Each structure stands twice: as C-alpha cells, then as structure tokens.
Structure 1
C-alpha cells in the first residue's frame, strides 16, 4: 500500500557516511540545497537529540568570519529545512530549544549512529570470542558507507568531524581483517586488504595483515615483497624504518615461525572456517578504544561466602537506572577476606552490564602513607586516556573531569582498603551507570546512600568448603574429626584457615591430624586465636617459625620495604647474597604462603599480604638492631639508584646529574641493568610507584645522600610523564632529610629542581623566588655546574616573560659555566634556547650556527631527549629559510620519535608545524589532514591557544 492509500510515509533516513543525503523511501531522496543548508543539517545530525546553539551553527557555517546577518541566515536555513522535513515525515523534525535548535530524531535513522553501534557490538562479540559474528557485523557496518563522510560540504569544522568518522571506518575495517584472518579466511582477504593498502599505503596495520594473509596462502615471497615495498616507501619519503611490530612480523615470516599459525578460538563455539587451520595467527583483534581492566586476578579456589556474594551482587545491581550511583561498602576486621570477596564479586559482574571496563585502586588506608584522593584520581584519569599533561593540579577539577568521563560509561570501580569517607568521596561517579565497591575497616557511615555489608567470620559449612577446596575432598573426608578441629581452632578467619590449608596442600604426605598436633603444641597462642589481630598473628607465626633462619631473616627484611612488589635482586640486596640462593628462599616463602608470586614484563616479582607484612615488621624490630635494618635499606636503595641512574644516562645522554655521593654502591646483577638499557623510559614507568616509595623509605631511614640523589635522578621520568605530584612529593620529602642532615649542596640541587617543576607548570614567579637564593648558594659552595643550572633556569624565566636581553645574557653565562663544568648536554640545551632567540629575531645564520652546534653535541653524547628539542627548532629554521621540503622530512622523523616516547604534547606541536609546512608546499589536502589530527591532540591536552592557531590555519586553507 502506498502512502497515498492511508499508510504514513516512512521517517527520513539520514545519511552522513558519504555525501549528505536524506532518504524518504527506497529510492527517493529529499533534496537539501548545497551550501549553508547542508552545513546546518550536518551539524544537527552530528548532535542528534541535543541542542546545538545558534552560535555553534554560525561558527560551523562561517567559522571565524561571519557576516552581520549570520544569525538571521541560520534561522532562514532552519526554517527551510524544517519545512522540507515536515513534508517527508509527520511533524517537525527540528525543534527550537534555547539557545538554538534540536533535531528530534530516532538515532537509528542516522547511518553514522548505526555504524558506531554496530562497531561497539562487534567489540563486545570479539571480547566474547564470537569472532565470526563480529566479522559479519563489521562487514555490514562498512556497507553503510558511500564515500568519505560528509563529502562536498564546505565547512572546516564539519570536515574535522568527518575526518574522525573516516578514521573510525578504517579502524573498523582493519579490525574486521584481524578477525577474518583469525578465522582462517586469508585466501578471500588478500585482494581486499591489497585494495585498502593501495589507497592508504602508510597504514602499517593493514600492511602487516596483507603480509600475514599472503604467508598463510603459501605466498611467502610476495609477503616479504609487501614488507620491502612498505619499507622503501617509508625510507624514501620520510627517512624512517617500519615499526617494531612490522619488523618482528617480517622476521617471523622468514623463520616460518609456528607462533604465527591460526589457532581456533578459546571460547564459545562458533562457525569457523576449516580452511588452512595450520596457517599463522594474527594477534587477537583490538577494539576501537582502550578499555581499562584493572582488577587484580580472582582467587582460583575461592570457596564459601555464596550468600554474601549473592547479597553483594544484588545490592550492586538493584535499582539500575536510578540517578544515584550504587555504592556497597564491605566492612570487617583484618584477615576477614574483604578484598578477596570484593575482587571475586567484581569479576562476576557481567561485561554486558559494564562493558566499559573496571577501575581499581588500593587506597592503602591501613598503611603509614595512604593514597590521597588526588593521587587516585590521577591514576584513574590516565587509565581513562587523559594525558598526564592534561590532568588538573586541583583536586576538585580532577574530580569534575573524572565524573564527566564516567557520565556516559558503565564501569565497575573497586576502592580497596579505604581509611575514611574523605578519601573516597571524590572517587565516586556522579551518575548511575557505574557501580562502586569499597572495602574498609571503618564503617564509612558518612557516605550518603552507600549500602554497608558486614563481612563476618566463616561459619562451619563455609570453612569446611574452603578447606576441602584447598586440601582436597579425599583427605578431608578421610579425617573428619581432624578437619573439624582445624576449622574450630581457625575461628572462622579465612586468612588463618587458608594458610593452614595451603601448608597441608603443599605437604600431601602429612595428615590433618599432624597439623592439629602442631596447633596443640602452641596452645597459649591458640587460646588467643579468635581475638582480633592476635588470631592473624598466631596463624602467620605457624608458618614463620617453621622456616629456616635465612628465610626468616629475608621475611623480616622484606617487610621494611613498603612497596607494591619487588624483583629477585631486592632479596639479594637485603641478604647481601647471590641470586641463586635468594631465589630459592623466595620460592620457599611462596610455598609457605608467606609471599605471593606475580610476573610481569620484567620477570618474577614478590609481594606481601599486608597483614603478613605487619607481622614480619614486628619480628624485624624485635630481632634486628636499627643499624642492621639501616644497612639493609641502604643496599636496596643503592640498587634502585643504580638502575634509575642507568635509565637516566640512557635518556639524557650522560651522567651529568649534580648530586653524586661518595660512598660505594651496591649494584644489582648485569641482567637487571640490561633490562633497563633495553627500554629505559618503559622501565622507569613500570617501576614508578616503587621508585617513589624508595625515596620515602630512604628518607625514613635518614639516608640523606641516597634519598636526595634518587629524587633528582627520577626527574627524567617525572618530566616525560608529567608526574608533577610525584616530582613535588619526592623533592619535598628529600628536602626534609637534607635539612636535617645540614646538606647544603643537596638542598640547593633540590630547590633548583623544584624551580624546574614550577616552570613546567607555568609558575614563573615561584620559580624565580627559588632560583635567586639557589644561585647565591651554589656560588658560595663554588659549584659551577649548579650555577649553570640555576642561571639557565633564570634566563628561561626572563625568556618566557619576554625580557629577551637579560635572557640572552643569562644563557651566555650559563653556556660558559656548563663548558667549565664539562656538561655537554647542558651546553646543547642552552644553545637550543639561544637559537630560539635568534629565530625570533630573524637572525637565521646565528640560529643555524647554534642549532648545528647543539645537534653535534647531542649526536656525540647520545642525548635523545635534548636532540628532539634541537631538531624541532631546526625545522623552524628550515621553514624560515624557505626550505620547506627539508623541513617536512625533518618533522616526519621527529613525529616518529615523539610518538615512540608517548609525548602527546610534543606530538601535537610537531603535527601542527608539519601541517603548516604541507600548506606552504601547496599540498592542501595533506595539510588539512595533518592539522586536523594536530587540532585533536591540542584539544586533548587542553592547549587552547595552540588549538585556536590551528583553527585559523584550517580556516585559511579551506576558505
């Protein structure tokens, strides 16, 4: 039946994935006039069912040069569009809502929304190992596209949004290629991937996919040719080598590596092609966005507590859709199993209900230094994708950003070991899409709306189930009386029962009665087993007392290190012994449930349960003198300083730190130094929490020399990652120790470094207030290198304020002092700053002389960090000289360098200049694409002035 016969016309179908179209039937299109009407409709379609202000529409149509009648013209456009849409569907689709307009529409009628929903669903299917379904869905999503998004619309702002849509399409297509390769469909994919790569030859992900498909199809030589062609393209155009992943893939293909074979999915059954099941496998396909999954691992033999698990789950899930966040607090005494229960429940929550991941933070409420709300928010914001440079300094602003990011997400947030309401209040999301699970010894009654759950001791049935799970059904059934006695003396404390059960599990030849007799032999302690902390202490003592003397000594000394986990060499340092012996002791402690073993990219690591750490610390204070404890800490701190110093040298280009102690240092084994050298910045990042804790530890031990040197050495990490709170905290702590020791030189060095922190935060006056007395102090001490550091920073203050003559004078004095002190990297940095002054004054010959001198120094000493700064200014010189092609090549190489270090701020700056150079070369399309990417980064890092400059450039290019 036709519409004229009484059936209403179908609602319009809005198409933005290609030229803008409004379809009103199978083959009917509603004509929207090109120009302003298409721009206004496009802007409304990108924000469906949300108000778009008239000011936004004016900017979208005219950008930064609107006519006086702009608002009137927008209103005329809207009126015309409203009339046309009213003809195509019943009722007006565009609604007036101050301060603008709202397009009232079923979002499924917009092809861009359908595309995003299909990609999101495919990501969920991929996580569930339903690869065939996910691939089919992604292919259907790609079929929605008719060409570049919003093509032909003359709006700079819409072109930016369209570029983002186009990139999401390419990512989705590559994700589908991953899935279909995983399913063994390589024969069918070769042509399709080759077509994509021909259109986008610089996409290394697609190039790797084509190599894999060809290799699986038995066309190894062609696969290697694809690699060579890509490498030649990169070398010829940019002077770059392919990325690490592509190079590893080439090596694997050359070796016909078995690890590349296709493997069937480990998950729910699905339709998988049986063709070529012996071919190589692609890596598991990644979703379009990072999803934080921070929960610790669940306990494999978690037993009992079924009622409590169900109750907690119900409290978290009931009332879904309410405005308020659902919060559950698990309360209980030490050793009762709060954390294990919380982690278990969090893992059980369905990924369908909470598809956006999990956030976890151990708040350390029972430790001497708890994690502050500001620190926890900093971790969460980084996990959610916020660059370190964009994390606000102020707690309230961090909380606002956190709530904004979680407002449209559905996540599980687990806050472990909270001390008080004030610690967690700012960590609660503001909307109901997320659930929060908190563990605490305190009742936290001040948290409005939180549901409190008391975690009590296990009853006999629950304890019996736990004992059976760990020890084994057969052994427990064989000794029912002994099993009942073990449960009784453990008094329902999960920690105590788990330790006893684990000891029995590790000794299958021992009877349960043997363990009961051991408990009877220590009857005085057993009398106190059910009395608070003493119960845990007695249970831990059973394992501790059975250890050999060296193992007990290691347990005691490990307890002094209040760090998350430690590698094997730390045990070497504590015992001043060789790795083979201490590794055996660590394994014994794991077997005896005194330590937990984990593994990461750096190798095996060991950690305490908090209560066992407290027990071991009590024994340490009773068994060892303060001098023995201090010497143990000193050796461990020596090790951290040695490794951090090696990382600093590799990044900075030499050992030019101005704090150097005179005492001999304990040095970890060569294999640990090799791991640092392989990727120094990655090592610093992975050990950041431990290194900061080491500063605190040495401060508490009064080791002023090591404490101050370690704090200064870590500045390399703090600068690169924008870890400003860590920088400030470690330096203030080291200052306290240096003041107590009367260490004038350390005080001056630390204050000079804190001034650099102020400069990084844009606090020029605060930096100057520190630097002026520091310069006097270095002069009194006769420390020329210290004077050079202080003068350089003071000159930088003048430079940033626009006082150029004093800045130049200060730089020249600092340069001479760096030469006297023998610090070539300091010289290179100052030459780079002077060159910038030359560039600003259009003294190009002088700028070139200074930059080439700085570049020669960096190349000679291997200072990658300063070399990037020099080369960026060199690209500016090339632009000023009119050497645009050389500037573009230089910037392309720099882009690889900044991306390899995760420097998002630097990446935005390099892209900005590269886009400008592309425009100067007349390559407008390339310039717009690069500047669009730069704009996204500048906005992401909250660089508003830089973003405004890019918008102006885009306006000039597309106007």
Structure 2
C-alpha cells in the first residue's frame, strides 16, 4: 500500500474502491481514461483505549477521511462510479454527500488537503466541477456545516463498520494518553538520527516514505537548524550523479515531507518540527529537545563543564549513550550517508568510552563490562573498547576473562590485520598479569618496575602467554623475518630531493665502526611521511639484505619498553615475556641485529624516548623513524622535514592518481581542486580516490562540493582515509588547555595570527599563550610564519586543520563560551585600533566607540609591539576575520565598533578598499538583522566614505542620506552631523557646491557645539573648497584658515597640510603664483616630513602646476611622473585623472601637442568613468587649448562650448574665464567675446 497511508492505519482492513491511485506526475493523464477496479488496504492495530475526547476524535475522523480520499477512489452512487481525489485532491460536499471529484491543483487558500479537511465548522469548501475533460473552479463556494462529522458519516455509510474500527485503533495510538479535553497527548513529536532515521509520534515511528525521500529528510536532519543549499541536497541524495530533473524531483520530496510534518503536528496542535524555505535552500527547524543529535550536543556541553571525577558526569554520559539506537542513518545508501554514518560512529564510540571511563572512576565496573561486551561483538577489532572492557572485567574480579579477552583480540588482530595489539593494550595486559590496579586510564600510568628479588622471596616462574609464541616465530636470537614492509604506493610522487638526501645518508657503506645516524622524517599529519618511509625502505632493500622491519605505532605516546617489545617480536625474538628488565631487552635487541644488515622503520613515533633505545649500535644497520614532532633530541639524527606540496607537485600527484588526460580535459577545475586541498598529500589522495571511483564525474563537480567549508571535511573521506581522523590524532594528544586554544583559534578563522589573538581568546597573559602555541607548533597543528616586513613572529593554521578546529569548537564549547571568547578579541582589537588611530591623521572621527578595554584584558594583549604603526598592517587579515566572525554570531555592537575603528586607524589612511568593503558588508548585515539602527547608521556612513574614497560618487551619495535619517531618528546628533559632513563632501567633490554648502555649514556648527573639533575642521575645509570653486576667495580663505587653526590645535598634520594646499590653490586661481608656491611648498614639506606618500601626490601636483605657469617645465616633470605611479598603485582613480590632466598641460606648455592630446584624452576618460562633471569639463577646456594651438579652431570651439555648459550649470569660476580662451585664438574661433570681463589669455582656474 502507499507509504503515505501507513501512519494512519496499521492492521489489515480492505475497502472496495474503483481505480488506481492517481499520482502527481500523471494526474491529468489518468483522469482522462477509465479506471480499473482495485483494492486499497488500510491497517489498524487493536485499540489501546476507548476514551475519546471531542477534539481528538474529530481530528482522527478528519485525517482518516483525508487518507481514504487522497489514496482511493470510492463508489459514490447507485449505478455510477465517481472518481474522487488524487494526493492533491479534494472532496466537495454540500449536504454530507459526495458531489464530484477531480484533481486539485495548487490554488490560493487551497494548497493542502489538510486545510480542506480542517476541524472547523466554519470551513468553506470550494467546489470542483468536471467538464470537458478538465477541471475548473466553481463560481461560488458552498458553506458546509459540521463538515468533518458529515464527511465521516458519509464515509461510514459507504464502508460500514470498517471506518469505526479504524477510528478506534487510531485515536489513542495517535495521541498517546489522550483522555484530555484539549486533545493533546503525552509524548511529543521527535526527530531521531542516531540510529535508523525516524520521526516518532507519541513514541511510535511513522512511515517516512520511499528511499530517496528519506535521504532528503536525512540530508536536512543532520544540519537541523541550519540552511542546506539545494545543490548540497541534490549532491547528498544522488551522490554526484543527479537525474536531469533533480530539482523538480527534490521539490516533490520537499512537499511530501512538509505534508508528513504537518500531519505529525496534529498531535500537539502546533508544528514542533518544520521545514522552511531559505535563500538558496531549505532548513529543518526543531527545538533542541526534539532532536536526539541536538540532545547529544547539549549533554556533551554539560559534561565538559564537570570535572573528570564528578559523579554527575557519568549520569549525563549514560543519558548520551542511551540516545544511540544503532548505526546512524541505518539503511540509507550512498557515499554521503556512509561518511556521515562513519563520523557519527566515531562520535558514538567516543561517547561510549567516555561513559565507561566515568563509570570506572566511580567504581561501577559491572555495567561497563556488560555494555562493552555487547559493543565489542559488533566491533571486535576496536582496541579502545577492548582496553576499557579488560579494565572493567579486572575491576569486577573477573581477571581470567580479561586475560582471555586480550588473547582473543591479539589473535584477531594477527589474523585479520597482521599486527600486534597497541602499546596501551599490551601495557594493560602486563598490569593485569601482575594483578595491579587499573582504576586509572593506562595511558597515564608509568610502567611499574619488576619487584626486587630477595633471598627470602622465591622467584615465581612466569609462564609466557601461549599467544606470545606462535609457531612461525623463529627462536630467540634469530634476526628478522625477511621483508615486513608494506607495499609502496605506485603513484608516489614528489619528495625527489628528500629521497636523494636520505639515500645518500643510508645507502652508502659506513667507513667507520661508529653507528649510522638514524633518519628522522618529520612533518604535519597527512603530509606523506609514512609513504615516503616505505618508499625509501624498498629502495634500500638491497643495502639491508638481512631484513627490513616495519613497526607501526598509533601516533599516541607509548611506553618506550612496549615499543621495544614490538620491535623484538618483529625481529623474531620469541622469549620477549621472559626478559623482565629493560636492560635485558636492549641487550637482546643489540645482539639480534649485531653483525647483520637490517633496516628498521619505526612509523608514527611521538617522542624521542621511543626512538633513542632503538638506534642501532652496529654500523651495518639503519633506523628510519617518522614523527609529527621534530625529535630534535635524538642524538646524531639526520633530519628531513616534509612540507606541503607546491601547486605543481599537487597537480602531478593528482595526475598520477586519476590520469593526466583527465586533468587536461578540465585544467581549471583541477587547479581549483588542488587549491582546496591546500597542498596536503592526504587530501589529494582522497579526492583522487573519489574521482577514480567515479570516472564519469567531472572534476568541477567535486571542486564545487569542496568549496563549501562546512562540508569540506565530510567530503574528504575515502576507503578508510580521512583528513579529519589524521588531524584528530594530533588534537587528542594535546593537554586540555592547548586543545582549547586550538579550538578557539580555528573558530576565529584568521588566516595568520600573532600571540595576542590567543591571549585575547583565552583571557590569559601573552606569556601563558605563547607556551600553548608552542605546544600546537610541536604537534604540527600550526606553523610559525616569520614576517620579515613587519619583523614579527606569526602563526598559520592549515585550511583543513582550521576546519577541524572549527568543528571541535562547535561540538565541544558552549555557545556562551565561544561568544565570550570572540567578544574579548573584538574588545581588544577595537581598543588597540583606536589607540593606534589616535596617533594617525584621520579624515573623520570614529562614531561608534565601545567602552574602554578592561584592565584585565589590557594585561593580556598590550605590549610595545602592539602599539607600533606596523601592527595594523600585520594584523589586517586577522582583524577582518574577527569582524566577519562577530557578524556571523550576531554580535552587532562589537562587529560595528571594530569595523568603524579600522576605518580611521587603517583603511582610510592606506586606501585598503578590499578589507574596508569586507568588514562593512559583514557589519551592515548584522546591524540590519538585529535592528541596531545606530550601528547601521554608522556603517552606512562608513560605506559612503568608502565609495567616496573609491571615487564612486553616485553610490556614496546614496548611503549618507540613509545614515542621516537613522541618526536623526535615534537622536544621535554627532552621527547626523558626521553623515551630513560626508554627504556635503561628496557633493562638493563632484562640483555641486551650492547643495554642499548648507550641509557643511550645519555639520560644522553641530560638531563645534559638541566639541568635535576634528569633524568641525573637516567641514570648514569643505566649505573653503566650495567657496574657492565658486570664486568667493575671501570666504574661502576665511574658512580654510579656520580649518588650519583647528587641525593645528589637534596636531592633525595631514588636515593642516591639505587645507594649506587649498589656500595655495586660491592664490594660484588669482594669478598670485609666488604666494601660491609658498603655501603649497609649506604643505608639501609637512607631508614629506611625515612620509605620507599618498597626499604627497596632491601637494606635488599642485606645485607642478604652479611651476608650469611659471615656465619651469623640467622641474614639474619628475614629481608628476612619480605622483602618477603612486596614484595608480594606490588605486586612486581621481588622483590619476588629476595628475594626467596636469601632465597634459605640461606637454602643451612644451609644445608636444600629440602627447598632450593623448594624455588629456586619458584623463577625460577617467573623469567620465568617475561621473565627475567638473573634472571632465576642465579637461575639455584643456583639450580645446591643444586643438587651438594646433590650428583646429572649430574643434577647440566645440570643446570649450561643452565645457562652458558644465561650468555655467555648476556656477564655478571658469564660467567667467571662458571668453579669454577664445580671445587667445583670434577671431577665427568665432566666439562672441563681447561684454567679457576676463583678462587672462589662458586658463587660470583653481584646479
């Protein structure tokens, strides 16, 4: 029967119907042809209760009728069969009877059958009429009183007692202990992921539909509370091979899941689990207590707050263990489900082991032994399970069973994997043999020395375990078992220099009797140490013919004695258990290899203590050890450091795996894939294996999936390889404090960082943080990145390691802890930025100041290096990441404060438009989401200033008015004045001086009244600029003098220099060139003194133009060329156009007319792109002069006429100068100069 009916029906009841079910995809086709009789079957379970509340009974009747009508076609009249409803159908009633039927398409107010069959007596059902082979809406709607009851009565009359039996069986099973007047039953609706995917209603699972539909639900469920893009859903459901109409099919499943959730909602009268549309995808929403995966996370957060010996810890972990019902997402096929399943399995194992440890600490080994015995039946090779089970058995007094378990495990490992138990398991075995306490974890126990033997104490013979002496082990003293090396990787590539270096060290015969130095291969996890060691060992087999031994450790710290035991067994020593002391074992080791040529490979060592005892004393033997640590204390070792692959090496390795021809077909996608793997060979091997397994899959498809950081580590698994597991080995080897700073650094997401960031995250002094960072460096989880430019020491976390750290932070740290840590970073960064900004010249004052940095935080992050000017340059990327992370966490005030502080401290000074744009895009988003209108206004101002600095004046003009409105509404006078100041600045820059003046006047008055002398000086400078352009030189000089006075009082040398230059331009416009040169020289000297290369461009241009008027052409050339290069490098488009126009004048003055025309045309294009009418008109004026000088008077006349129209519209002083241009060309120009008062023969305007 159709799955959609199984929720509502349980036992076998047959109802005679006519025709098959009408499916969505073929509704129209089916409706147009006769329907054959069929039988629909509904199931029912025996009723558990006959108690019926009115609401519960009413809802049950409605839903059962709905199911029957949605999935069946009933006989409705004597002698005639009427087709009723499809899954999108509706029954029309007027008097309780069945009037007509058809397929109901989506329509306003009638999108869901549940809406039609609601339990309201006031419901009005629209009638569908069947006519001429199609459906149409009736002209009216018929009110139906008591619709559910009447509908039920009609169905009951047609099905007899069957309907009553179904009703009896559904009221209580549907609602649990109903019997309540409100119809709401006991248990709630729950989503269960930790086992078979289920939605449970009142403790019973409901049918979820076909397989693909369950996959869609699973794909949403694992990210409950987060939006999942449609592309990701398609990829998860169809494993990278979607059908052509995947989106349409997906939408069908989404619709069905929504109906299913709506049906489940009847239990509570509300929707406890909902499926919502989100931009680009869908999001499953549910309260934490309705989803077992979220319950698990909540319990984990609570556990993290408790000490290891707290009894509440075991209780919480027991609840967490009980959430697991079996294999997660059991029965769902596909690679994605397998990856999620494996990740959750590892999480389940970790939870189980943590619970077992807590129970053992509390002295309750019995429950641990019982539960772990069951778990081990499913995973008999999982050594941590065996370890805890053996401890539990021993602590329960079942020592013999513990030893038997060890023997079984060792036999299984040997048979299945060809390896011995790990060092921890071996050490535990020895302790149980000696009947020692194992209450504490074995990993923290030191090896217990054998008891001293005295004459009064007889020596007890120790029978060696039979498993220690398999038949195939040679007798003691026999060297080696031949080649024990794993096979080399056939596609190993790269590391040619390292291989040559190692072969030189190990392949040549020793010329002395001294021992050969060991070779240490070190590097981060996944960088290829093991594969390189195996390749080297195979290359060296001829040099070591007596044996090649490979001993793989587990990457965790091991007892050196247990490592020595493994090596002895590998060498064929059979009496290891009889060698009681370390000295005896070392002697056996040395005598075994003496006089022979044996190569020993020790893989995944953790400490030098594991390696030192194994250094061969015989010159004919050699030792290769791999380790993530550098093992610098191994005496005489030859060290080879492995690093990440270059892009070229990465492409070569990928080509070896998937074939060079495949890369040649998609070179750009292959480069993207390599970039996302970030040079990690393990990641490259994984993506290569996945592509090899799917020869039909395009590289671009996998690259697209890896672009989403949230799922990248999920994608990087294949055939037992996983980047996540590789990083986890290093992570779990850290102490808790180092793990915490690792998680928090990953959560912040900074590409590089200095020690202050760790200090702020932890709230600890820098010296404490430096020690923890050193531990992360030793574990290869971060690397040191010298910064010679800023002479600082920085750290970097590999992209894939950062993603793992982020995952651990989200899983292990509470939301409150993460928010607190990020808040400390934002507070520290804002405080440091503001302090540095106070030392720099700034265009506008900060508007959104946060409270001062707390003294406790100052002691953590303040240092002399942090208050030097280069600090902001070095920390730029880190600070941008901090703003973006705060915005993601909806920390609106903190994000906006730092973004605003960085404007005047860094971005506006250095024209760092990219960082400016990123921070403000993040900040405006969070301000709008949270409704923080003041913060929004501040950032609107910041974006307006950014667009102004980018010379995107039209866009800048849109932002400032919005900020003015928001500030006025909030009563924020300083902010409103600053926004008016910004808007006035934009308007005067584009020549709209009459509009700018009132805005700047209002801003100057308000800011001066509020004590903001910097803002007032800025507004006064703008007023002086406007009056100069309009020809009011007296007002211009007055306002500019006021600005200079204000800037000088504040020590704002940049503002003073810019205003001083502006007074020079007033004198230049009046033809007073000596005075102009004096003022501009003073401004230039002030700027050069403070090494501001950007403003130097403008003071140099002003002086060069004066020199051109004075005839000093050669003196002007060099400064103009340097200024043009600087403006281009700083992306100052306005500066480029301004300097190009002046260079055009230089060529004109030198008589180089072709060069002048070419450069002026470039300048004209620049002004045109900027939308800067005044600059464009001035360039047209100069182009006219070039045309006139070349004798093309009509062209000159045209250029001047166009320019004059702009000057007249804007009211600038050039409008009065225009007749002089024409007079200089003589009567051939044809321009009427009558009445002109202009005396000059050439342009003498201000700019």
- TM bucket (normalised to shorter chain) is 0.3 to 0.5
| Larger relative contact order, structure 1 or 2 (CA cutoff 8 Å, min sep 6) | 1
Which of structures 1 and 2 has the bigger CA Rg? Answer: 2
Could you tell me the TM-score, scaled by structure 1's length?
0.40
Would you tell me which structure has more helix in proportion to its own residues?
Answer: 1
